Structure 1
Amino acid sequence: MQKRILLIVLLCVGWLVGAQEFPVDYTFGEKYNDRYKYSNLLTIEDDGQGGTLLVRAYYSGMIIKPKGFIIEHYDENLQLKSEYNYKLKGSEFVNGYFRNGQLYLLFLDYNYETEEYEYWVHRSPVDPFSFTKEKLLTFRSAPVKNPLDKNYYNRKFNSGFTTTVLFPEDKSSFVISTHYKKGKDNRHDIYLFTSGLKQALYQDFSSEVEEKNYAFERVAVSRDLDQVYIIGKAYFKKRRFTALERKFQYELIKLNKTGISTQNFDSPGKYSESLTPILHNGDLICVGFYANRKDNRYNGLSYFKVDPISLQVKTSKYNPFSEQFMFDKFGQEYDKEIKNLVFKNVVVTPDNSILFNAEEYFVTQSVQANSSGGRLRVERFHHNDIVSAKIDDQGNMVWARNINKSEVTQGDGSYASYSSLTKNGRTYFFISTAAENPQLLNNERIIFKQGLSRNRNVFVIQLDEQGKMSYEKIIDSKDARLPLMVSNPLKNELKGKVLFYAKRGTKKQLVNVAID
């Protein structure tokens, strides 16, 4: 009996050791000095020649304030070619992209002289940098707090101006949604622009907001730019709700030159949560989660195949979470709740299966004492468990797995959370943590915690075609002296490469990770 037990233990250890042989390689770029100690990475783009462009907002002064933007250009060998200090104050950065040899930066400004919000695009060639500005849109409004504020759960629709910008995955176009509400004036407009800044579509959405307010979350755009599909959370304007009433529903909104149409996927006992639209081979597919009750607890995965013209639902599937998934997340505690899941990315495989993952994300607030004896309200951003799932081409769940993770940050979220890459049917998750090893709870059930050290290890978690989980530490903290911004990389799915920016204080470098 003792020999049998010893054999079982050796087999389990062998599985863990054998699992840690991933086809992953990494390369460190040169470590550079950086005069901008306080900064945030805003966007990272391929320059079309194998190199990389990074845009950072930097801050300085006795009282730390935004001073401008640093643009770094690296070559294909991770060597820094040039830096450009774009001194620009008072503009709110929205997003950036690189197209046709030019870098585009989208900003939202407020003009106090004309009392208008203005969308501007600043663009420049790369060598050398020389920015020009172009105004896209203007909206008359008094200034409001956080016009671009995004809250996934308790969205507030106060009077005044609110706006949302959505990019599809390839950034070939972008949608600007504007909503102005004051008294009887309640106007909602939606614009589609090409990456070259040509307005391709406009629709007056005001009639749709008479009974509901919309928080748009994700978008898909047809290649010819004639059809726009937006997933939005529609909040009913009814002033009073009972405890059992649902205050919102997810809707699919279709926009084209002829008009607007919407589709709601809820049915008795099935309520959609956190959907995302996919355009693939002429099909329009929406995947996400669903709840059995009118609350925010998730019970499984949902799949809808929709006619892209009429929005009629041709196929609908509800896949409850499996026992394996529930065990991954909670162990033997089956009475726990699954909620607060936010989509990260979706991949369609060559056999038309869908791989997608989401993260358990939420914000908490507390009040703490500051150095002068006063009270300060603090927001903490929680990036917890990863949910990954595979759905076949008929909408049936192949598998769903939960990766236990616990992270919280008060500042730059680029160092927290995770990124993922799919290659050859396998999904690889990249996590940065100060912990030396994950806590092994039971067989494949593991949990990654933040740890206390300043230096961070980089782990890769692999889910193979059958959803089997394994992991490996690919970069040790002794080698990676600078922490990687794991949630904001440059990914090349075709080549199986992920490029990370690493920075601490006045030191910076690039790290390239390749999957064979």
Structure 2
Amino acid sequence: MQKISLFLGLFLMSFLVWAQEFPMDYTFGEKYNDRYKYSNLLTIAEDGTGGTILVRAYYTGLILRPKGYVIEHYNKEMQLLSEYNYKFKGPEFVDGYLKNGQLYLLFLEYNIEEGTYEYWAHRSPLDPFSFTREKLVSFPSDPVSNPLDKNYYNRNFNSGFTTTVLFSEDKNGFVISTHYKKGKNNRHDIFLFTASLKRVLYQDFSDEVEEKNYAFERMAVSNDMSNVYIIGKAYFKKKRFTALERKFQYELIQLNAQGIKTQNFDTPGKYSESLTPILNQGNLICIGFYADRKDNRYNGLAYFKLDPVSLAVKNRKYNPFSEQFMMDKFGQEYDKEVKNLVFKNVAVTPDNSILFNAEEYFVTNSVQANSSGGRLRVERFHHNDIVSAKLDEEGNMVWARNINKSEVTQGDGDYASYSAFTKDGNTYFFISTAADNPQVLNKERIIFKQGLSRNRNVFVIQLNKEGQMSYEKIIDSKEARLPLKVSNPLKDETNGKMLFYAKRGNKKQLVNVAIQ
């Protein structure tokens, strides 16, 4: 095991100053052989004793197909304790989590004999692994293509059956939404479960979908599980729209034993986008972006403080993007548009300021020739600029910054994108790139490009309390021979640590990064 403490700066004169404000330690775990060459990391969680549980889906065959799930258990020294092959295939994996010493895996499967879609939870203790199954929800429907398909910018409600699962931030509860539409039958049901699989709430949402279809995106739930707040796009059923006209509005839905309440946020000239709900000290806050026209561009950040009982809006703020933000993103090209921003995470500081992070994300399609002379449709996922902003307790923008980066992937997105960590009012963004250094254009405007090497460096970009930007390469590709799945770490906010899973081919290891 190798442990290295880094205090780095760009120049010798700035070494000591940089070390005081940007100190990081990283530790490599042992490298292990891995017989599952092709896999995707699905879940990473703390085991309750300082160790870690990882769940991966693995693929084998000449044409790669999912064959099962490998579960790895590491101790706090990042030593591999056990590995379990859960040979289960067929149903679609939804999510996994660890609660009270039990590992839960949630699946959606189609029962051909019954003609129903069914949600099943597979539960097992950690030592030894032994899974039992429990059916949560069943809904009659013909089989459809991609019932769990998620598209940030458009949704297809004409396929018959669509469904969504949303988890609270702490994984203490989750919502299952099922929507079936065929002929005159238009039914929408919403269920709330605790992490231990107890159903605590059910609502028939069918009356609400007579005029609009809902694509739910995020949720928050009260500590006593009596109220659940869901943010989603409400798509109007109007038949015709202009090419640039917005077909939806964002709405907040409150569900409890008394019934359903909804609240929308749009006003003339202000249209909400990519909102997320936050419950903090008895307050219900929704934060995201807004546009001043019914098109796909963004003009700034929106903040709404609501009464958690009545959903009445008590405070509404629209903060246009600052000159600094536009300079970060476009330089002197002021006629460019901000668009395709997707919420990533949010943190509330001890003084009730809000640190909000998003990413420029979109999907492109193309057709290219394959080896046999045919045509193949290729889907590419673009993970571009990082957007970060700080709002004060009243929703006023303190600062907003844009970090330029360009990444595109056709497969496992865990190596692309980024992860963010907040400590002492500072936000740290971890990115993995084959580029040796970012391109510095002027002052703090920097651009990270994907690079061509298969080895990757790990950079950290810091935004301090004042929004000032600095960056450093904390792990060099010569040391990190295995690329980190940088967008899917295990965060230990209490102790200021990030645990990353690194893998290439038949080798794997854990990497721990500590922020002092």
TM-score strictly above 0.5: yes
Provide the secondary structure at the position in 1 that maps to 2:338.
Answer: coil
The equivalent residue for 2:430 is 430
The equivalent residue for 1:184 is 184
Q: Distance in 1 between matches of 2:298 and 2:367?
A: 30
Shift of the alpha carbon at 1:244?
A: 5.8
Provide the secondary structure at the position in 1 that maps to 2:298.
Answer: coil
Q: Distance in 1 between matches of 2:63 and 2:329?
A: 43
The equivalent residue for 2:273 is 273
Q: Distance in 2 between matches of 1:18 and 1:419?
A: 25
The equivalent residue for 2:105 is 105
Structure 2: unaligned runs, 5 residues or longer: 1-9
- Structure 1 pair 16/345, CA: closer, same or farther in 2 (3 Å)? farther
Letter in 2 for 1:274: S
Letter in 2 for 1:478: K
* Residue 116 (str. 1) matches residue 101 (str. 2): no
The equivalent residue for 1:248 is 248
* Residue 388 (str. 1) matches residue 420 (str. 2): no
Provide the secondary structure at the position in 1 that maps to 2:208.
Answer: helix
- Structure 1 pair 398/13, CA: closer, same or farther in 2 (3 Å)? farther
TM-score normalised according to structure 2 size: 0.96
Provide the secondary structure at the position in 2 that maps to 1:309.
Answer: coil
* Residue 56 (str. 1) matches residue 82 (str. 2): no
Shift of the alpha carbon at 1:242?
A: 3.1
* Residue 207 (str. 1) matches residue 207 (str. 2): yes
Letter in 1 for 2:113: E
Q: Distance in 2 between matches of 1:301 and 1:219?
A: 19
- Structure 1 pair 15/394, CA: closer, same or farther in 2 (3 Å)? farther
- Structure 1 pair 290/14, CA: closer, same or farther in 2 (3 Å)? farther
Letter in 2 for 1:237: K
Letter in 1 for 2:318: Y
**Identity of counterpart residues, as a percentage?**
80
Shift of the alpha carbon at 1:296?
A: 1.3
- Structure 1 pair 13/302, CA: closer, same or farther in 2 (3 Å)? farther
Shift of the alpha carbon at 1:113?
A: 1.2
Shift of the alpha carbon at 1:89?
A: 1.1
Q: Distance in 2 between matches of 1:85 and 1:242?
A: 52
Letter in 2 for 1:357: N
1:218-257 matched pairs, under 5 angstroms: 218-243=218-243, 245-257=245-257
Q: Distance in 2 between matches of 1:419 and 1:33?
A: 26
Shift of the alpha carbon at 1:12?
A: 9.9
* Residue 71 (str. 1) matches residue 90 (str. 2): no
Q: Distance in 2 between matches of 1:228 and 1:156?
A: 25
User: Contact 1:16–1:470 (CA<8 Å) still a contact in 2?
Assistant: no
User: Contact 2:177–2:189 (CA<8 Å) still a contact in 1?
Assistant: yes
User: Contact 2:91–2:108 (CA<8 Å) still a contact in 1?
Assistant: yes
Shift of the alpha carbon at 1:159?
A: 3.1
Q: Distance in 2 between matches of 1:404 and 1:103?
A: 38
CA deviations on 1:301-329 (whole Å, 9 max, x unpaired) are 11000000000000000010000000000
The equivalent residue for 2:505 is 505
Letter in 2 for 1:180: Y
User: Contact 1:188–1:206 (CA<8 Å) still a contact in 2?
Assistant: yes
The equivalent residue for 2:289 is 289
CA deviations on 1:123-166 (whole Å, 9 max, x unpaired) are 10001101100011111111111000000002221231100000
Letter in 2 for 1:414: D
The equivalent residue for 2:5 is none
* Residue 28 (str. 1) matches residue 8 (str. 2): no
Q: Distance in 2 between matches of 1:428 and 1:488?
A: 15
Shift of the alpha carbon at 1:40?
A: 0.5
CA deviations on 1:209-233 (whole Å, 9 max, x unpaired) are 1110111000000000000100000
Provide the secondary structure at the position in 2 that maps to 1:371.
Answer: coil
Letter in 2 for 1:432: S
Letter in 1 for 2:393: D
User: Contact 1:123–1:131 (CA<8 Å) still a contact in 2?
Assistant: yes
Shift of the alpha carbon at 1:494?
A: 1.5
* Residue 458 (str. 1) matches residue 491 (str. 2): no
TM-score normalised according to structure 1 size: 0.96
Q: Distance in 1 between matches of 2:393 and 2:372?
A: 60
Provide the secondary structure at the position in 1 that maps to 2:107.
Answer: strand
User: Contact 1:360–1:383 (CA<8 Å) still a contact in 2?
Assistant: yes
Letter in 2 for 1:50: G
User: Contact 1:419–1:430 (CA<8 Å) still a contact in 2?
Assistant: yes
Letter in 2 for 1:288: G
Structure 1: unaligned runs, 5 residues or longer: 1-10
* Residue 300 (str. 1) matches residue 300 (str. 2): yes
Shift of the alpha carbon at 1:62?
A: 2.1
Q: Distance in 1 between matches of 2:409 and 2:152?
A: 17
Equivalences, count? 506
Shift of the alpha carbon at 1:246?
A: 2.4
Provide the secondary structure at the position in 2 that maps to 1:54.
Answer: strand
1:249-398 matched pairs, under 5 angstroms: 249-398=249-398
The equivalent residue for 2:4 is none
CA deviations on 1:84-129 (whole Å, 9 max, x unpaired) are 0000010111000111110000000111111111100001000110
CA deviations on 1:175-205 (whole Å, 9 max, x unpaired) are 0000000000000000000001000100000
Shift of the alpha carbon at 1:61?
A: 1.5
Letter in 2 for 1:304: F
The equivalent residue for 1:5 is none
User: Contact 2:145–2:159 (CA<8 Å) still a contact in 1?
Assistant: no
User: Contact 2:246–2:296 (CA<8 Å) still a contact in 1?
Assistant: no
Letter in 2 for 1:39: S
The equivalent residue for 2:7 is none
- Structure 1 pair 490/12, CA: closer, same or farther in 2 (3 Å)? closer
Shift of the alpha carbon at 1:19?
A: 4.5
User: Contact 1:19–1:472 (CA<8 Å) still a contact in 2?
Assistant: no
Provide the secondary structure at the position in 2 that maps to 1:414.
Answer: helix
User: Contact 2:382–2:406 (CA<8 Å) still a contact in 1?
Assistant: yes
Shift of the alpha carbon at 1:243?
A: 4.4
Q: Distance in 1 between matches of 2:386 and 2:372?
A: 39
Q: Distance in 2 between matches of 1:483 and 1:372?
A: 32
Q: Distance in 2 between matches of 1:450 and 1:245?
A: 34
Q: Distance in 1 between matches of 2:22 and 2:449?
A: 22
Q: Distance in 2 between matches of 1:514 and 1:188?
A: 45
Q: Distance in 1 between matches of 2:294 and 2:16?
A: 45
Q: Distance in 1 between matches of 2:11 and 2:266?
A: 45
User: Contact 1:19–1:471 (CA<8 Å) still a contact in 2?
Assistant: no
Q: Distance in 2 between matches of 1:23 and 1:374?
A: 53
User: Contact 2:244–2:296 (CA<8 Å) still a contact in 1?
Assistant: no
The equivalent residue for 2:475 is 475
Shift of the alpha carbon at 1:13?
A: 9.6
Q: Distance in 2 between matches of 1:334 and 1:392?
A: 27
Provide the secondary structure at the position in 2 that maps to 1:145.
Answer: coil
Q: Distance in 2 between matches of 1:63 and 1:151?
A: 26
1:123-138 matched pairs, under 5 angstroms: 123-138=123-138
1:399-438 matched pairs, under 5 angstroms: 399-438=399-438
Letter in 2 for 1:167: F
- Structure 1 pair 243/66, CA: closer, same or farther in 2 (3 Å)? closer
Shift of the alpha carbon at 1:63?
A: 2.0
CA deviations on 1:225-253 (whole Å, 9 max, x unpaired) are 00010000011000012346421100011
Deviates more, 1:59-68 or 1:392-401: 59-68
Shift of the alpha carbon at 1:493?
A: 1.2
User: Contact 1:19–1:470 (CA<8 Å) still a contact in 2?
Assistant: no
